């Protein structure tokens, strides 16, 4: 039992790391999903956003920017979840997070882990909200189409350079003559990898236009993905 001067002991980082380790054993390189239900902030172990003592204030954005004592866990915890994200993307694993709390639950530290795997984030103040149940049912709907292990590669004519892209994925750091030296979003690459996308996924790609005497410019995107039956497609 916790003392009144302490927060509940929550080991969110350890739980997510353990879940990914189990999936890495039983579902290596195969689509799989982690569902995380959070009712409070991670206060113990890797990935924590605040300490156990209640007199220790949880960080806010200004603490992160200024590097104050309240933000002392930020960099290490963000790096911890980013490392998990990289493992998940390699294995086509996704994490969906449901958070029900009037206070912070440490979502900022988990941002890369959720976003770059194509995961969902549901935030409510109580689990009893009707809209939470409806959205959870939608996410878990077996009829909802998903595409996994997605690779997006862009190729362009020499007078059109790819500056970067913004979306629920991570850069594959693949170089080509199509890559611009100027970076917007996830740049310095012509290829991006996502664990999962759906029909509502939006992706933005940015280009640098170079001086050219040509009347036409060309761009092509190659998209490789696996559907829910395990079939792989190239479009």
Residue 136, pLDDT score: 92
Q: What is the largest CA-CA distance in the chain?
A: 74
DSSP structure string for 22-70:
HHHHHSTTS-EEEEEEESS---SSTT-SS-SBTTSPPP-HHHHHHT-GG
Collapsing DSSP states into helix, strand and coil, what is residue 135?
helix
Residue 70, pLDDT score: 87
Q: Find the mean pLDDT for residues 160-186.
A: 93
Specify the pairing of strand 204-209 against strand 160-166: antiparallel
Residue 102, pLDDT score: 85
| pTM score of the predicted model | 0.89
Is the pLDDT assigned to residue 65 strictly greater than 60? yes
Q: Find the mean pLDDT for residues 199-204.
A: 93
Residue 94, pLDDT score: 96
Residue 2, pLDDT score: 58
Is the pLDDT assigned to residue 149 strictly greater than 80? yes
Q: Hey, what's the torsion of the CAs at 154, 156, 159, 161, to 10 degrees?
A: 0
pLDDT digits (tens, 9 = 90+) for 112-123: 999 999 999 999
* CA dist., res. 24 & res. 19, Å (int): 9
Residue 130, pLDDT score: 81
CB 131, CB 52: distance < 8 Å: no
**Percentage of the chain with pLDDT > 70?**
99
Residue 214, pLDDT score: 76
Please, where are the H alpha helices in the chain?
Answer: 12-26, 61-66, 74-91, 107-115, 130-139
**DSSP structural state of residue 160:** E
Domains and CATH numbers, the chain: 12-139 (3.40.50.410), 146-234 (2.60.40.1670)
- pLDDT bucket at 159, cuts 50 / 70 / 90: confident
Mean pLDDT of the chain: 92
- pLDDT bucket at 129, cuts 50 / 70 / 90: confident
pLDDT digits (tens, 9 = 90+) for 67-122: 888 899 999 999 999 999 999 999 999 999 999 998 899 999 999 999 999 999 99
Residue 1, pLDDT score: 55
Q: Find the mean pLDDT for residues 208-235.
A: 88
Is the pLDDT assigned to residue 35 strictly greater than 70? yes
What long-range pairs does 208-211 form, CB within 8 A, spacing at least 24?
208/160, 208/161, 208/162, 208/163, 208/180, 208/182, 209/159, 209/160, 210/158, 210/159, 210/160, 210/161, 211/159
Q: Find the mean pLDDT for residues 39-49.
A: 94
* Residue pointed to by tokens 């497609």: 233
4 vs 60, residue with greater confidence? 60
What angle, 0 to 180 degrees and rounded to 10, lies between the N-to-C axes of helices 107-115 and 74-91?
Answer: 20
* CA dist., res. 133 & res. 187, Å (int): 37
């Amino acid at each position: 039992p916790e003392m009144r001067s302490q927060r509940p002991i929550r080991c969110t980082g350890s739980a997510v790391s353990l879940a990914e380790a189990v999936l890495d054993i039983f579902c290596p390189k195969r689509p799989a999903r982690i569902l995380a239900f959070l009712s409070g902030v991670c206060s113990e172990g890797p990935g924590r956003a605040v300490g156990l003592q209640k007199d220790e204030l949880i960080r806010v954005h200004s603490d992160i920017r200024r590097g104050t004592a309240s933000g002392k866990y930020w960099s290490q915890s963000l790096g911890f979840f980013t490392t998990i994200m990289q493992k998940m993307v390699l294995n086509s694993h996704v994490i969906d997070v449901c958070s029900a709390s009037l206070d912070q639950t440490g979502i900022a530290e988990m941002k890369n882990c959720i976003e770059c795997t194509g995961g969902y984030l549901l935030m409510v103040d109580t689990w009893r909200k009707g809209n939470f149940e409806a959205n959870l049912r939608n996410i878990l709907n077996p009829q909802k189409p998903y595409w996994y292990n997605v690779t997006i590669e862009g190729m362009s004519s020499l007078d059109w350079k790819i500056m970067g892209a913004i979306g629920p994925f991570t850069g594959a750091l693949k170089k080509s003559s199509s890559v611009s030296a100027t970076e917007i979003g996830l740049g310095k690459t012509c290829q991006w990898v996502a664990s999962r996308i759906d029909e509502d996924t939006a992706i933005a790609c940015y280009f640098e236009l170079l001086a050219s005497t040509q009347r036409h410019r060309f761009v092509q995107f190659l998209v490789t993905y696996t559907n829910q039956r395990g079939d792989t497609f190239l479009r």
